[in-house]
Structure 1
């Protein structure tokens, strides 16, 4: 006789209120609620979010189960992705099955390390232009707004490097439209307001205007490139010139626009958010800032960084890694459970939802001693090897790991190195900004700083 596996345990969790479950708590303070739930109920917690049963999975072994080993049982059929589809259509982030696999295969060559390295010069050149504006502000004694500056810079880099297009003229329109969509999408999700924005209210009209503005920008980019169907070696070229292996058909404009929208928004918002947090954290942690400057002086001197310097900028990369640990742009995500399963010894019902939160897991004291402290030296090779893989997953993991993770990390390293060579931004009010959990985990406000020369 073979021993039977023990029956899975039933997870505990916050009770919430009748009908709405934990909706009120999530709307009031989603980050605090996530942290309390994990601390009080362990690696798998169960609760009701409106009519839906949901589980918060926070232990690295459970995350490996969901994101890597049994990924087909945890799909993006969750209703939160219906809100995302209203903006990006069926782009790479939200597509599934064969459609996603085909898109991923088409996009993968654009993110090969050699091709990304070739984009380094564009990244540094764009950053130098921002550095010149920062220098002008420093000499004039006028503040800069870090969040808009990082957003404009990373949008330009995504436009040039991945889309082969100069999008600087569209920066303000894209940023304003995305801000409306980001705020409303989160508000609608947390209020369980899942109807499409079709009502004649000011609120719904604002969403529709923002979506039209983004669609107008993207349609213009695709139309301009259609006029010159040449291979520029960028991601948009790959999508435009690709042909279906069976039918020989090329991607139509609607599908192309979905992919461009996905890359334009996801490719700039997350990196800009991480860099914005980095400047705030460095100011609050002078020892880390000093070590960063020492490395930049040692490796670069006064010259600009290149792709070849990135592997040598070890501490610079650790600064980014530690920022992404504390303030991961994708701070919580959801999946739909297709069939009953057992995660970390706990029962998970089919038809329910699983929530995962890098923000929570990357603060678990059992893996991160003194978790609120900013310490880039957590990311030495020895310390990385001593932790479970999914104790740190700002880019998720498994087959749906962010395709642009290496692009984002090289971009962030080069931007940080180029600007920190010259400047020490200091917040006008000197206080650490509070997190603002929208679609990404932004610092609240525009982060006004005075630019000090090093």
Structure 2
């Protein structure tokens, strides 16, 4: 099986040992390690952890930074002392216009309040209510495909999960809205990836071509959301089942709801972050099963046995354990959130070292998920590893595709349900064979994307288990 790995950087020289700082690579004046990091983010984090250990210090153009790779230290940052660490300004300062003060970026009391207001939409019976739409839209997408076609499953999954998000979050099936949002999401992703490689912030008003597309894409999302808020205010939203309606109806302890600005931030955040996370989990799943006939055969057999040819439902999830394991393993090898950033608000101690306020902390699921201390044969796609209780045996933060602690992704249960139901529905119709002549490369932006797509040949269902 072809496994994607980051580029191997030249040997990294250690800086002169400093008792007050963890070891780390030598940088250059003014820019520190920022150029090394920007050239190959995944390779840089992987190699420095292997060379220097579970605490690695960097200098990113004057911003003191540390990679944290030990479960107890991660728990301290994300759980025990989480109030002393905020979302990292080095990362999010580039994209404040997109996410505003939504759950992804808000802090303190505002985040706590809005999290409480949003949480019921992703709980229990409310969550299962999204299942029929997920399956119907997946079935419709697969119904437009034909055996022997070559398709980019990343593009297909991005389009499908955007439709699912539009339906679940805003009850929208308007083709023009979906097309406009698809174009806007693409422009935002490309520009955000470019911004994350910059050592300095260039203001949004500077008329660079990427900035112009960025501002236009934000305006598109805002226009669609504002129209939907206005429609609900005009025609009523109480009792409606989509996320936006539930959020508009939610009230805090003082009977206050969200402002239009907050509704915009939360809805745009969910549309952008929510649909892409699931699309990537599915894209990488198809990339991996498209190279492994044995896994494909076992997957199809489980789905046939559990469903017997009928549509999947949320009630079938307990019987689709291998399907779930494929998704879990795809997110282990290719975690959508490949790095999580925090920033200290005051001094703190880790591993015998003292760090100052304003320190950037990197926690990398990409590095954690490939650690041989936790995962046997870590570079190999082995979904069956999840079937014998591995998740219960792992250290708490050895596997964290959705983050961890109080700020764990609010939509993680929705995302897992969606990914399993979509995968099961498509595998009922087709097998896939990855096209080696159209290689896939890693593209780490906010999320870990396949730069050139995931091109597969669609196989008739009865041929899905033949050797590829």
TM over 0.5: yes
Contact kept, 8 Å, 1:156 with 1:168, in 2: the verdict is no
Matches within 5 A, 1:287-366: 287-366=294-373
Of residues 221-230 and 67-76 in structure 1, the stretch that sits farther from structure 2 once superposed is 221-230
The question of 1:33 aligning with 2:44 is answered yes
d(CA) in 2 for partners of 1:424, 1:346: 52
Matched-pair contact (CA < 8 Å) for 1:280–1:432: no
Aligned partner of residue 389 in structure 2, secondary structure:
helix
Q: Deviations over 1:298-339 (max 9, x none)?
A: 211211111111111010000000001011111012111112
* Secondary structure, counterpart of 1:412 in structure 2: helix
The one of 270, 277, 286 aligned to 2:277: 270
Displacement after TM superposition at 1:211 (Å): 2.0
Using the TM superposition, give the Cα deviation of residue 379 of structure 1 relative to its aligned residue in structure 2, in angstroms.
Answer: 1.2
Counterpart of 2:67?
56
1:65 alignment partner in structure 2? 76
Counterpart among 109, 125, 133 of residue 120 in structure 2: 109
Query: Which residue is equivalent to 2:11?
Result: none
Residue number among 211, 233, 236 corresponding to 2:241 in the alignment: 233
Conserved? CA contact 1:84–1:94, under 8 Å:
no
CA distance in 2, matches of 1:158, 1:181: 17
Q: Does 1:94 align with 2:105?
A: yes
Distance 1:49-1:286 versus aligned 2 partners, 3 A rule? same
The within-5 A match list for 1:152-171 is 152-171=159-178
Q: Which runs of 5+ in 2 are unaligned?
A: 1-18, 462-468
Stretch moving more, 331-340 or 320-329 = 331-340
Q: Quick one: structure 1 residues 21 and 9, their matched pair in 2 at CA, closer, same or farther if it must change by over 3 Å?
A: closer
Equivalent pair of 2:169/2:267 in contact (CA under 8 Å): no
Aligned to 1:410: 417
Instruction: State the SS of the aligned residue for 1:328.
Output: coil
Q: What is residue 242 of structure 1 aligned with on the other side?
A: 250
Residue 66 of structure 1 deviates from its aligned partner by: 1.0
- In 1, the alpha carbon distance for the partners of 2:164 and 2:449 equals 20
- CA shift for structure 1 position 249: 4.2
Find the counterpart in structure 2 of residue 185 from structure 1: 192
Is 2:117–2:252's contact at 8 Å kept on the other side of the alignment? no
TM-score by length of 2: 0.90
Q: Determine helix, strand or coil for the equivalent of 2:144.
A: helix
Who is 2:3 aligned against?
A: none
- Note the 1:248-267 alignment, pairs <5 A: 248-267=255-274
- Please list the CA deviations of residues 37-84 of structure 1 after superposition, one character each: whole Å capped at 9, or x if unmatched: 111111111010011000000122221111111101111152322223
Matched, 1:217 2:261: no
Report the 3-state secondary structure (helix = DSSP H, G, I; strand = E; otherwise coil) of the residue aligned with 1:17.
Answer: coil
User: What does the per-residue CA deviation read over 1:353-411, in whole Å, with 9 as the maximum and x for residues that have no partner?
Assistant: 10111111111111112211001122134322222011000011110000100000010
Residue 400 of structure 2 corresponds to residue 400 of structure 1 = no
Matches of 1:348 and 1:287, distance apart in 2? 49
Kept in 1, the 8 Å contact 2:84–2:344? The answer is: yes
Query: SS of 2:213's equivalent?
Result: helix
- Rounded to whole Å, the distance in 2 between the matches of 1:237 and 1:270 is 23
Shift of 1:428: 3.5
Asked if the contact 2:191–2:211 (Cα under 8 Å) also holds between the matched residues in 1, the reply is no
> Which one of 139, 152, 156 corresponds to residue 128 of structure 1?
139
Q: Secondary structure at the match of 1:227?
A: helix
Q: Contact 1:425 / 1:452 at 8 angstroms: preserved in 2?
A: yes
Q: Is the 8 A contact 1:177 1:213 kept in 2?
A: yes
> Does the CA contact (< 8 Å) of 1:183 and 1:439 recur in 2?
no
Q: RMSD across aligned C-alpha pairs, in angstroms?
A: 1.8
CA contact (8 A) 2:90 2:360 kept: no
How far is 1:167 from its partner? Answer: 4.7
Aligned counterpart in structure 2 of residue 42 of structure 1, from 29, 33, 53: 53
| Aligned residue in 2 for 1:5 | none
**Matching of residue 75 in structure 1 with residue 86 in structure 2:** yes
Number of residue pairs matched?
442
Distance in 2, matches of 1:169 and 1:71, equals: 42
Match of 2:5 in 1: none
C-alpha displacement at 1:176, in angstroms? Answer: 2.2
- C-alpha separation in 2, matches of 1:426 and 1:220: 42
Cα distance in 1, alignment partners of residues 214 and 129 from structure 2: 38
Tell me the TM-score normalised to structure 1 length: 0.93
Aligned to 1:17: 28
